[in-house]
Amino acid sequence: MSLEPIRPGREVVQAPPTGLAGSRPLPDISDLHPGNPYGDVLITGLVRAQLGLTLGFLTLTVAVIGSLPIVATLLPGIDRANVAGLPVPLLVLGAGIYPVLVALGWGYVRLAERLERRFAELLSRST
Amino acid sequence: MSDTALVAVILVTLVTVAVGARGMRVARTPADFLVAAREVPPVVNASAISGEYLSAASFLGVAGLVYVDGVGALWYPVGYATGYLVLLLLVAAPLRRFGAYTIPDFAEGRLSSPLLRKVGTVFVLVIGWFYLLPQFKGAGITLAFVMGTPYWIGVVALGTVVTANIAAGGMKGITVVQAFQFWLKIVAIAVPAVVLLALTHPRAGALDRPVGATFPKAASVSITTPIAFNVTKAETVTGAGQLDGRTLTGPVRLEPGRHRVAAGSTLRFAAGAVAPSAIGIDELQGTSWSMPFARAGNGRQHPLAATYGLILATFLGTVGLPHILVRFYTNRDGASARRTTAIVLLLVSCFYLFPVVFGVLGRLEAPSLYLTNNTDSVVLLLPQIGVDGAGGIVLAALVAAGAFAAFLSTSSGLLISVAGALSHDLLDGSVRTFRWCTVLAGVLATVAGLRVADFSLNLLVGWAFAIAASTFCPLLVLGIWWRRLTRVGCLAGLLVGGLTSATAIVATMAGAGQSGWPAVLLGLPAIWTVPMSFLVMVVVSLLTPGSLPEDVEDKMLVLHLPERLRGRTAVSWPEAPSVRPDGPSILPEPG
């Protein structure tokens, strides 16, 4: 969920340009084309970072929502549990689950946008 | 009541056709449509996607299934909503960046294979057709309820209106119509739900009674088709017509066991009588109604496997619905596609808070549907029963209008997708061909719609989701995130997932697998067909590295690089449709 996997870009930023003659120019957006080793590494890093974020949220979704049937199986009295006269499974599946879904969605949108912003900054700083 | 509701239904239909026709004059060509589309803000776009998505299954079916199957049926709406979270996480932004209009576009563009386009097109047709059937069933039962017409009239009416409208050139990419229909639908279900909650005192403890549903007050039940039913507790009924072959005159004592009542009869139950249920409806007793597990077939064996089968189909099927994907192209860029999806998630989540109210209150207030076996009509019936006088008439008209908006919007979107895929991807793609394909697809779906009156709305929609999850979900997920997907691997996965899931479903429709494991594995096939499809795609891809597309790095860049960085790269970026310069396949050039 961070830019961790984009190692090459990150290392370059950590070592600011020194202007030494003859050194390899820093990666530029124009490096982002297939066949260019710098570009390939950058785009692989971006895809990995995005995939990491996606997998993190998918794991959360499975843990919070996908696990509910198993939880219900492990709690044999679940059909008789009541809150305010309404069955607990009705409250969870009928209403309680939706705010969780929406929160997961918005959380992902925010983090994905931040990730892309940082990737853009990384490139513009290095040009 | 029927007049007001009929006027409301006709009004919704006319507005849809009129706005669609007007939009057509504005947007004459795909290019016009695209220019207009870029002006659409995410919230309008999200309303349009939600409007197209919330179909008969959501508007009528969820409440009907909760009414008869209990809390476990709520996995359907939960799955329909969670499908958008999965779409957001895995597909939304990359797919928009790729610029494909349809799933066959994506298949061909990503893997540089015209054959994959054809195979994808076939599955668009299969999924679209399965998804159309419940819309027609919904129209059939709604018109039957509103006007007392036979089932087939509603089916033919919807088929005629939608087919004629699209063949005549309406409803093309009309974001505003679909957006309007979402707001109509949510108002039409939320207002009656809130009023009903306020007026009827939810006798909460009644959900846990050891016996089945009872009539809260004396009720007359009209029987329109011959019904065999089960009585669990002896009751005295009065009425008119034929009961067990004898003409009803005075009070009759119904002993526990099986009985028959003829069409045209009326049975009158006293307050507190236990509602009998039609044969085939396994009306849940007491707390078993609250069990949070899905059902497969007639039995309730293997509840965990059935529930996960449903979860896999609905969570992963949304990603592969052919009529939804095209709407994502109307986002400005990948980031706004993500925002739009998140808003869709919010909108459909809000919507799904309400159908459950009808399911729960219906069980408490309107148990007559267990007898007449019209459980999918509970949303239509409840306002009449729960609200007296003019208020009840207005609310009943409102839900009928909302239901029709659901059938119109979803079936229009589906028919455009199906006819577009047929004409553009398999035939010559001219406007004339598109029109004939619309008529052909419309007629075929209408005829099939006549035969599905006995299938639950959600069962039918669930099958469309299961096929989508077994075919397009692996195609999109692996295509977007996995470089080593090959043409042969993709083709093998599509065919294996599609053929197995479709075969299982056709077998179920034909009557195979009534209970036990066959019911779970054939009726909710996603539990095995989805993992198998993914597995085949991955394994065959690894075995056939020779059919890896050469430009996979290029495609990865297109899929994942934020648009604002594109201008400064050395790659030549495809403008608008990266795959097909001749425009989206659903929008043939007007002749």
B6 vs A: CB within 8 A: no
Query: Per DSSP, what are the bridge partners of residue B236?
Result: B253
* pLDDT at res. B273: 85
Joined together, the tokens standing for residue B180 give 């309007």
Joined together, the tokens standing for residue A124 give 């513009």
| Residue A29 to residue B88, Cβ atoms within 8 A | no
Higher pLDDT, residue A15 or B390: B390
Q: Which of A37, A55, A123 is nearest to B86 (CA)?
A: A55
* pLDDT at res. B26: 45
* pLDDT at res. B7: 85
* pLDDT at res. B285: 66
Q: Which residues of B touch A34 (CB under 8 A)?
A: 551, 553-554, 557, 571
* pLDDT at res. B107: 93
Joined together, the tokens standing for residue A12 give 């370059």
Disruptive mutation site among B71, B284, B285 for chain A (greatest number of A CBs within 10 Å): B71
Give me the mean pLDDT over the A64-76 stretch: 90
DSSP output for B97-118: HHT-SSHHHHHHHHHT-HHHHH
* pLDDT at res. A31: 59
Smallest CA–CA separation between B70 and chain A, in Å? 9
For residue A89, give the nearest of B84, B290, B571 by CB distance.
B290
Q: Which of B263, B257, B297 is nearest to B279 (CA)?
A: B257
Q: Are the C-beta atoms of residues B61 and B461 closer than 8 Å to each other?
A: yes
Q: Are the C-beta atoms of residues B172 and B587 closer than 8 Å to each other?
A: yes
Mean pLDDT per 10-residue section of chain B, whose length is 591 residues: 78 78 50 49 88 89 90 94 96 89 88 92 92 91 86 92 80 71 93 88 57 78 86 86 85 88 88 82 71 79 90 93 79 89 96 94 86 87 86 89 88 86 81 86 93 85 94 96 95 96 91 82 92 97 91 86 71 44 36 30
* pLDDT at res. A48: 92
* pLDDT at res. B172: 54
- For B219, phi then psi, to 5°, come to -145, 140
B346 vs A: CB within 8 A: yes
Contacts of residue B378, defined as CB under 8 A and 6 or more positions apart, other chains included, come to B60, B63, B64, B67, B358, B359, B362, B366, B369
B349 vs A: CB within 8 A: yes
Separation of alpha carbons B268 and B66, rounded Å: 25
| Confidence grade of residue A42 (pLDDT, cut at 50, 70, 90) | confident
| Confidence grade of residue A37 (pLDDT, cut at 50, 70, 90) | low
Q: Which of A35, A125, A30 is nearest to B568 (CA)?
A: A30
DSSP output for B479-500: HHH-TT--HHHHHHHHHHHHHH
Smallest CA–CA separation between A51 and chain B, in Å? 7
- For B214, phi then psi, to 5°, come to -120, 155
Q: Which residues of A touch B341 (CB under 8 A)?
A: 105
Q: Which of B101, B69, B10 is nearest to B328 (CA)?
A: B101
Unique residue bearing structure tokens 């236990």:
B274
Q: Which residues of A touch B284 (CB under 8 A)?
A: none
* pLDDT at res. B88: 96
* pLDDT at res. A43: 80
* CA–centroid distance for B220 within its chain: 32
Percent of chain A past pLDDT 90, that is, above it, reads: 40
- For B238, phi then psi, to 5°, come to -120, 180
For residue B560, give the nearest of A50, A90, A113 by CB distance.
A50
Return residues 180-239 of B near A (CB < 8 Å): 204-205, 207-208
Smallest CA–CA separation between A10 and chain B, in Å? 17
Separation of alpha carbons B101 and B121, rounded Å: 13
* pLDDT at res. B171: 52
B240 vs A: CB within 8 A: no
Smallest CA–CA separation between A95 and chain B, in Å? 6
Smallest CA–CA separation between B213 and chain A, in Å? 16
Q: Are the C-beta atoms of residues B299 and B513 closer than 8 Å to each other?
A: no
| A&B contacts, CB < 8 Å | 161
Contacts of residue B522, defined as CB under 8 A and 6 or more positions apart, other chains included, come to B504, B505, B507, B508, B512, B513
* pLDDT at res. B392: 87
Higher pLDDT, residue A24 or B282: B282
Separation of alpha carbons B114 and B313, rounded Å: 28
| Residue B339 to residue A70, Cβ atoms within 8 A | no
